[in-house]
Structure 1
């Protein structure tokens, strides 16, 4: 777990708001969540209207996977390393349209190349303009958008989170 404390509902709602309108999703739509932890953001995605069955969650911790499977039985939960390419993720997304990637990964714990590979690789899987949504506590961004051919939008600081965080939305340029 890379977070100082679990994400607040305010942060989760802000991240979920950056997902395209779920009313426009169809049976082929998927949301990939990297590092869902205990599922705070996952629940906010569902509250926004994302169908639970459209969620593909990649979590490293086996204990959190058990919790996620109990909380979200219709979601597709993959126990694995979100920083490494995975056949299980490829299989879960095969023939599906990736509407957004929502990330709770502690990107600053990894070298630049690994961060760029995660964000840039996700953007390459999606339609142009689809969002890669990440939160950060830092004053600087974890991936420089020009390094991956993207543009970046940042939210105001969410002060109802401990520590305060902001939402970063990367989109292919």
Structure 2
């Protein structure tokens, strides 16, 4: 059922879904590897889809840790709401990660420790990617991490404009194989021109 839902959404929204299959559990493990679950107070996820990464976050989190999901696809949003309706400390929003600051303010969340992203930046309009990455760099706490995956190296240099350090690892046990980019702002937050 999950596969059919994902395939249907890919066919109708290929630019926003970005892949024909949900991410593998191996990729999910690598995406959450850098998270200090004991210390994290707020974890944010962009584009959770059917919840592959979300499951790992919920399995490993401290019960007091708040998790915020932002999903732009309405069908995936409905699946997530139904799937996690009994889960405490979980906020699910249907909308664009471009409004991340607004969603956090709405939840009374002052910053985030980690951002996990399933967004296909290579297929999003450049202005949308810019707004999301810019705002992400602003809502992350000092030494927080932004972790995303892409299917090629094409976006690495672009993402490096927003983060002072980008570590790359490969997960071949995924269809297609994926590059995981673990990004941080180790130095004082850089000023990035905010272009609409």
Q: Same fold (TM over 0.5)?
A: yes
Residue 13 of structure 1 is matched in structure 2 by 29
Determine the C-alpha separation between the residues in 2 that align with 1:8 and 1:82.
23
Between 1 and 2, higher relative CO (CA 8 Å, sep ≥ 6) is seen in: 1
Residues 115 and 143 in structure 1, CA contact (< 8 A), matched pair in contact too? no
Distance 1:13 1:84, change over 3 A: same
Determine the C-alpha separation between the residues in 2 that align with 1:120 and 1:141.
14
Cα RMSD for the two superposed structures: 2.1
Residue 91 of structure 1 is matched in structure 2 by 106
The TM-score normalised by the length of structure 2 is 0.76
The TM-score normalised by the length of structure 1 is 0.85
Q: Runs (4+) of structure 1 moved beyond 6 Å?
A: none
Q: Name structure 1 gaps, 5 residues minimum.
A: none
Note the C-alpha offset of 1:88.
3.0
Residue 151 of structure 1 is matched in structure 2 by 165
In the alignment, structure 1 residue 36 sits paired with structure 2 residue 48: yes
Using the TM superposition, name which of 161-170 and 82-91 deviates more.
82-91
Q: Name structure 2 gaps, 5 residues minimum.
A: 1-16, 188-196
What secondary structure, in the 3-state scheme, does the structure 1 residue paired with 2:115 have? strand
* Equivalent residue pairs, number: 167
Determine the C-alpha separation between the residues in 2 that align with 1:38 and 1:59.
10
